[in-house]
Amino acid sequence: MQQFLIAIALITTGGILAFITRKTRDVSTIVGAGSAIIGSLIAVVPVVRVLFNSVELPLLLLNLPLGQATLRLDAVSAFFSLPVLLLLAVVALFAGIEAAHDKHAHDGWLFFNFLGAAMLLLLVAANAVLFLVAWEMMSVAAFFLIAWRDEIASARNAAWKFLVASHIGTAALMLLFAMLGAHAGSYEFAQFSGAHFTDGMASVAFFLALFGFGVKFGLLPLHVWLPEAHAFADAPVSAVLSGAMIKMGFYGLLRILMLLPNISASWGWVMVAGGLLTGIFAMAMALAQSDLKKVVAYSSVENAGIITMAIGCSILAIVWKQPFIAGAAMAGALLHILNHAVCKGMIFLASGVVYHTIGTRKLEVMGGIARSMPFTATCFAIGATAIAGLPPFNSFISEFIIFVAGLQVATLQEPAALLLAFLIMSGLALIGGLAVATYARTFGLVFLGAPRQEKRHEISDIAPSLRLPFMILLGFILVLTVTSPWLVEILLRVAATLMAGHQGFALADLQGELLHKPLIIVVQFSVALLALVIAGWQLRSRFFSTGDRSDRPTWDCGYAAPDARMQYTSSSFAQTIVDIFSPVVRPYKHGEKVTGLFPQHASFRSDAPDSLLRYLFSPLFGLVDRILLPLRGLQHGRLHLYICYVAITLLALLLWKVVAI
């Protein structure tokens, strides 16, 4: 535990020193990036020890205003440390190297390091007060990182949306911990698990947790902050926010589920339904976007839906006393959390490279980039293939495990088992199909076809030194693919820790050996498919060299002078699917009607702002704004009256305390 805390202190100190030396950019970058990388490597040691040796590091006590707080590194917190440490190190390496090539590159090391340190502190907090302190530190650091380009009004608006959403979620968490602490007589997590909650109180606690933590991981309809925050944050920041920070929402939810003694089937159904709707809605919205980073951001919401659905399946299996299904669904969710972190880190970094090279995120003006940027195109293609759940990469395996859990549900005698199996399997199929369509569209529009602007011929790929972070992430994708049968055994230990207080499930009850053999077959298939693709590529390069090949336009319907404008646009490519989901997506369509036999002017443009933000939250917050409008007079800039407000509040609290006694 001491080693883990040293890592947190090093990362925090490095951020402070980077801020102090910010006028000397090179020194600031070395200190900020170096401390994040070294701190992550130091923290990996106790994390690996806990995961592989099934140990729990001893407690450390901290004195806080509300009493002593404990720190604990167990299997659950150790697992969730993995995506944080991996992305913190890799993204720091990328941003540090990028700073040497681009004077406008990310340099907010103070908040970047604070974000990483806050997430690590949150994971070992075994006290509600310390947990909330770390949670707020994480949210505030993320706010400043999103708003870093504050000269852009849209970036400021996105940051404020994130901060408002985060504090609404935090309010629910404060109410949750206040209720649990009042009933247990302590804010220590260990005391929560020993308290006897009524079924009604447990359900209230669950739904408060689902709301509070769901804001962070983007559960429908609480996701509205996420697309714009990722779109306007720098690519390294987006990689950490998507790959690591939103996972803290899942950690918090699972930790609360672990502490509540009685779980209900209704919780599982809510999570399955919520996850399914989240995944479908997110992919429908992604298909309608013309902003590259918003497409990738909605993909994060979609994967959050898959993970939520798997956790809900595990909850129902626990209630039905089916340890194998519960373990498989939970292991699939945990593996998907890890896979998503690695894949999304690669995709966001590749998207950032494209944005900085092209100067825009608009899909409509891209095209043909793969010829000039083959390395970036390859990395994006691998990350997109993996995150879409296609073989031969890692996310296919985690979704396969969840699918196996759904298939096993269909064999149960429970009345609602067939419904659950149908929702899990059909949901994965539908969400996966939409994800494939989304990334096929995105990759094709960005990297294939003809350049839509002449200057695209002048671009070049990233510097060789910047390729190292991509190679590290690619290596992790391959390692997670090949080692998944053995990695699942470790994840089942984490699942057993989560389920220890429910139905008395132990590791042996989860029957991990039943998953091992099918996963071996899946890995063999994946390796064979990958080898076949590589062999085919080599044969193509050998026998069909560029010198023997001529390039010609595709069939152009008889038009004799085709140009780059005669290509599918982002809206036309996905029009059929978007039309199917138009009641949900509700796209704006603008344009001039085509009139006459020989029209001189015609135009068409479609936009798809988030429909829930437009039709639910904007009117809701508009109503709140109108209600609170009379109170704006209280903010007048007079300091002595502000002090008076504080004094009146303190007197009111003292009187309330006296009356309560």
Tell whether 395 and 433 lie within a shared domain.
Answer: yes
Answer yes or no: is 514 within a domain: yes
Predicted confidence at residue 104, as pLDDT, reads 59
Predicted confidence at residue 90, as pLDDT, reads 93
φ/ψ region of 545 (left if φ > 0, alpha if ψ in -120 to 50, else beta) reads: beta
Res. 371: pLDDT tops 90: no
CA–CA distance from 9 to each of 12, 40, 113, 114, 507 (Å)? 5, 11, 10, 10, 35
Tell whether 316 and 433 lie within a shared domain.
Answer: yes
Percent of the chain with pLDDT strictly greater than 70: 86
Res. 423: pLDDT tops 80: yes
Percent of the chain with pLDDT strictly greater than 90: 29
Tell whether 341 and 297 lie within a shared domain.
Answer: yes
Q: Mean pLDDT over residues 232-238, rounded?
A: 86
Summarised one tens digit per residue, pLDDT across range 3-17 is 888 899 999 999 899
Distance CA 10, CA 25 (A): 20
Res. 156: pLDDT tops 70: yes
Tell whether 484 and 350 lie within a shared domain.
Answer: yes
Answer yes or no: is 121 within a domain: no
Bond prior to 221 in cis (omega within 30° of 0)? yes
Answer yes or no: is 406 within a domain: yes
Q: Say how many domains are in the chain.
A: 2
Strand 588-592 with 603-607, pairing: antiparallel
Answer yes or no: is 518 within a domain: yes
Q: Mean pLDDT over residues 150-178, rounded?
A: 84
Tell whether 334 and 388 lie within a shared domain.
Answer: yes
Tell whether 307 and 363 lie within a shared domain.
Answer: yes
Q: Name the residue range of residue 396's domain.
A: 265-543+580-594
Predicted confidence at residue 150, as pLDDT, reads 59
In this structure, are residues 145 and 115 in contact, taking their beta carbons and an 8 Å threshold?
yes
Answer yes or no: is 383 within a domain: yes
Taking the whole predicted model, whether its pTM rises above 0.85 is answered as yes
Res. 456: pLDDT tops 60: no
Residue with tokens 């070049």: 460
Predicted confidence at residue 457, as pLDDT, reads 54
Tell whether 342 and 441 lie within a shared domain.
Answer: yes
Res. 342: pLDDT tops 80: yes
Q: Mean pLDDT over residues 256-260, rounded?
A: 85
Q: Which range in 46-55, 133-142, 452-461, 580-589 is most confidently predicted, on average pLDDT?
A: 133-142
In this structure, are residues 398 and 391 in contact, taking their beta carbons and an 8 Å threshold?
no
Q: Mean pLDDT over residues 584-588, rounded?
A: 75
Answer yes or no: is 490 within a domain: yes
Predicted confidence at residue 93, as pLDDT, reads 92
Tell whether 379 and 526 lie within a shared domain.
Answer: yes
Task: Name the pLDDT band for 56 (thresholds 50, 70, 90).
Answer: confident
Answer yes or no: is 178 within a domain: no
Res. 458: pLDDT tops 80: no
**35-44, 150-159, 420-429, 488-497, range with the lowest pLDDT:** 150-159
Q: Which residue has the higher pLDDT, 58 or 526?
A: 526
Tell whether 450 and 343 lie within a shared domain.
Answer: yes
The pair phi, psi for residue 529, each rounded to 5°, is: -65, -40
CA–CA distance from 612 to each of 54, 281, 477, 499 (Å)? 44, 10, 34, 35
Predicted confidence at residue 117, as pLDDT, reads 93
Tell whether 589 and 656 lie within a shared domain.
Answer: no
Res. 223: pLDDT tops 60: yes
Could you count the other beta carbons within 10 Å of the beta carbon of residue 489? 15
**Cβ partners under 8 Å of residue 198, min gap 6:** none
Burial zone of 506 (CB within 10 Å; 0-12 exposed, 13-18 middle, 19+ buried): exposed
Predicted confidence at residue 548, as pLDDT, reads 59
Q: Mean pLDDT over residues 285-295, rounded?
A: 86
Mean pLDDT of the chain: 84
In this structure, are residues 136 and 37 in contact, taking their beta carbons and an 8 Å threshold?
no
Outline where 195-264 has alpha helix (H): 199-217, 226-232, 235-240, 246-259
Res. 221: pLDDT tops 90: no
Summarised one tens digit per residue, pLDDT across range 538-565 is 887 777 665 556 666 666 666 656 666 6
Tell whether 290 and 329 lie within a shared domain.
Answer: yes
Task: Name the pLDDT band for 600 (thresholds 50, 70, 90).
Answer: low
Task: Name the pLDDT band for 270 (thresholds 50, 70, 90).
Answer: very high
Predicted confidence at residue 501, as pLDDT, reads 65
Tell whether 520 and 651 lie within a shared domain.
Answer: no
Burial zone of 646 (CB within 10 Å; 0-12 exposed, 13-18 middle, 19+ buried): exposed
In this structure, are residues 383 and 281 in contact, taking their beta carbons and an 8 Å threshold?
no
Answer yes or no: is 41 within a domain: no
